[in-house]
Structures are given as C-alpha cells and as structure tokens.
Amino acid sequence: MTHPVPADLLEIAEALVPDAPLGSARLAGHGNMHHVVLLPGFAAVRISRRPSSAAELPRRTGILRAVAAAGLPFAVPEPLSAVTRLGERVAVAVSWIDGESRPEGAGDAAAFGPLLEALRETEISPELEAVLHTPRRYDDGVGWAEILGEVVPRLPAQWRDGVRRRLDRLLALEEVPPRLVHGDLGGSNVHFGRNGELTGVLDWDLAVRADPAIDAALVASWHGWAVLTGEEAHRRARVWHDVIGAGHLHPVLAGKPLSNVDGFVGAVVAWLQAHG
C-alpha cells in the first residue's frame, strides 16, 4: 500500500534525486525505522524516522554495497547517493527494482528455488564478511540459543514444554558453514517480472551470515512449504521455523539483548496460538 508523500519528505527526495519526476512519488507503507519515498522507475529514498535509524543507516547502506558487489543473478538496491543528513533526518537514495511481489501463499519451487540456491551459493567476500553479523548459539548471553532459552520460561505454561522440545531439536541440528541469509524473504521484498522471472530482492537490513535454512523457512512460511524441494532442505527449514516461527527469528539472531522482551514474548504467544 502506498500513500501521498508529505512535503518535508518530498523535499528530501528531490535533494537526493533531483532528476526524478516527483509527480509520481508515493510513500511506501509505514515502516518502523524509515520512511521510504518511491520514485517509480528511478529510485527509492530511505529517510530515517528516529535517531536510532539514522545511526544505523550508514551500516545498512554498506550492506547494500557489499551485496550488490556479490554478483547475485538478480537486481538488488544499490546506493545512488551518499548517506546524507538534511536537518534532523538522514537519508539515502537507492536504485529502483522493477517487478512485483507475490501475495501470501502464492509461490512455487520454480520461482523461489533459484533465489534460495543463489543465496546459498554466494561466495562470502571480505566485504560481506565485514558488514554481516554471524549469529552464534552461545555468545556471552546474546547467542541465539541463550536468548531463546530465556524466552521459554516467560511463555504461558501450556506452551513451554513444546517450545523447549522444538528448541532441543534445533540445537541438535548439525551446524553448517554460514552463508548469505537475507533474513526477511516474505511480503513485498521479492520481485518478479511479467513472465515470472525473478527480477530483484529488496530490503537487506536484516542480512546475516547464518544457516541458509533460515531463508528457506522464511520463504516457505509466507509462500507455502511446497516452494522447497529436497527432503533435507525442507527438514532443516521446518526445524528452524517450528520453535517460534521464522518471522520472529531476527531479534534472536541479531547478537543483541532483546530490546522489548515482553513485546517479543507477546508476539511469539500470538504465533503459537495461531499455529500451535
């Protein structure tokens, strides 16, 4: 869903992409961290909403540069401007990605298999290694196993034993070499052309070096589990997903303490109520 662009955000977009036709500008659905002004066919301009997102924008732009240089067989947003401070806002313009996303539940292996394979096979360059966090099971209290271990006792009693058993299955998985993991492969982030070809992938803010089964779980939980081929790939993705839902993994993998534990637990409980 898009919306008209407020005048102050339009001024920022014009400053960063002066040649774009502003009459077509639209504001993407409101995100927590950034406003995104869409300039169809030309660019998207990300504008910080708060000081924390302003501080993170240079690092996230660095991720885009490293991913764009990785030689992926589809387009990714590339920075068109420097990260620029304009008054109280910080903004950057990135390249436009053609195509449209597929709705929830509308996916198949032919569409998403090549995407998952490309991510899994991408060589981790020194540039990628420098900008991507590598989640660890145990890491002085901020490893993903430690964080999940703290979440389980906060769940309502009816869910604790089941989540703990599923966590034990996850911990029993054989570790694999970390690969490029997008971390948010649902919703509107994967674009396809009119003929069904994969054209590009947006929004790399949550990218990490981790188990590629995480991306497989994210795709399957949004577009349907039939998108996955191969028994082992399906099994590993299910194990990651079944603990608390693949869509809730990023705060656990971020390498930081949970900023809002009660809110996170509430989101997990809502998922458990819906999915068991």
Domain boundaries, the chain: 2-95, 109-275
Sign, CA dihedral 211-203-267-221, equals negative
CATH of domain 2-95: 3.30.200.20
pTM: 0.93
Q: Tell me the helix, strand and coil percentages in the chain, rounded to 5.
A: 45, 15, 40
Can you spell out the DSSP letters for 32-90?
SSEEEEEETTTEEEEEESSHHHHHHHHHHHHHHHHHHTTT-SSB---B-S--EEETTEE
Tell me the per-residue pLDDT of 215-228, one tens digit each, with 9 for 90 and over. 999 999 999 999 99
Cite the DSSP H helix spans in 96-224: 109-121, 126-131, 144-151, 157-172, 213-223
Return the CATH superfamily for domain 109-275: Aminoglycoside phosphotransferase (APH), C-terminal lobe (3.90.1200.10)
- The whole-number pLDDT of residue 188 equals 86
Tell me the per-residue pLDDT of 144-173, one tens digit each, with 9 for 90 and over. 999 999 999 999 999 999 999 999 999 999
Residue 197 in tokens? 């070809």
Closest to 271 (Cα-Cα) out of 167, 164, 155, 173: 155
- The whole-number pLDDT of residue 30 equals 61
pLDDT tens digits for the chain (276 residues)? 678 899 999 999 999 999 999 999 999 976 678 999 999 999 999 999 999 899 999 999 999 999 999 999 999 999 999 999 999 999 999 999 999 998 887 888 888 999 999 999 999 999 999 999 999 999 999 999 999 999 999 999 999 999 999 999 999 999 999 999 999 998 789 999 998 899 999 999 999 999 999 999 999 999 999 999 889 999 999 999 999 999 999 999 999 999 999 999 999 999 999 986
